[in-house]
Structure 1
Amino acid sequence: MANNISKNGIDEVNLAYQILKTAGHPLYYRELIDRVVAAKGGTVRPPAYMIAEIHTQINLDSRFVHTGKNMWGLTEWSPQRINFREVEETAAARQDNLRREKLLAAIQQDFDSEDSGDMPEEPVDLIEGDPEIEEDEEELDTN
């Protein structure tokens, strides 16, 4: 990899980073690679080999981002990337909470409708008028 180091001690991928940083906007990959080769003072390797090697280095380096249509920019220019898995999990959690709220509302509605029917509200009302309970009370009183 000693061939990747230019005369001033900077390798090709770092040159590409500096070129993009100086440009301030994404560049077409071929233009970026041509600028890197020019900054190195030319090359003795075939151009296709240089293009493939530099393009691969840029592709593997997390400082660079493919902006579409063979354009490359810097990751630091992009808005913070959203983790789609977290977004999906958050959406799923919201949906689960909504389902729970609907279920709780349905249970509460069922419970309220049972309470509003003929059922007595006070426990004392439950035992008044029940013949079995009244008989048990009379037996207790006689003993």
Structure 2
Amino acid sequence: MNLAELNEEDIRETAMVDIAYHILHEKGEPLLYREIMGEIAGLKGFSEEETQRLIAQLYTEINIDGRFICVGKSLWGLKQWYPTEQATDSAVAQNVKEDVDELEEDLFDEEEPDLEEMDPDGDEDFDGDFDDGEFDDETPEEEEEGS
């Protein structure tokens, strides 16, 4: 079936996930999820409100349908285009790389400790916060016995 051959009634009656399949099949390359939804909305004549209401439904259907495969962040293709291991490995590798990049950014964005407040042995210097007379060698029981 070719989308150009369908009349308005056929398009209206065809499930969004099936139209998504035909869009990808005709394009021959992966598309961003929002691009797929945009094309479906155009074909079916959805308003912006209808598109927003149905976008999660289409995402769920594409995820469940075995004909589709995620090959990148929000990038969907047809499973038949990829050997299963290649598609899975490349998608996982890309997602892991993006996660590592985000973690590195977060790590280097954190404030570094002020090295002037540190002792040479690496401990924070709190010596000025305590009164030397505050800590005695005697416990309270020993003080009572000595009286």
Q: State the TM-score, normalizing by the size of structure 2.
A: 0.48
Q: State the TM-score, normalizing by the size of structure 1.
A: 0.49
Kindly name which structure, 1 or 2, has the bigger radius of gyration based on alpha carbons: 1
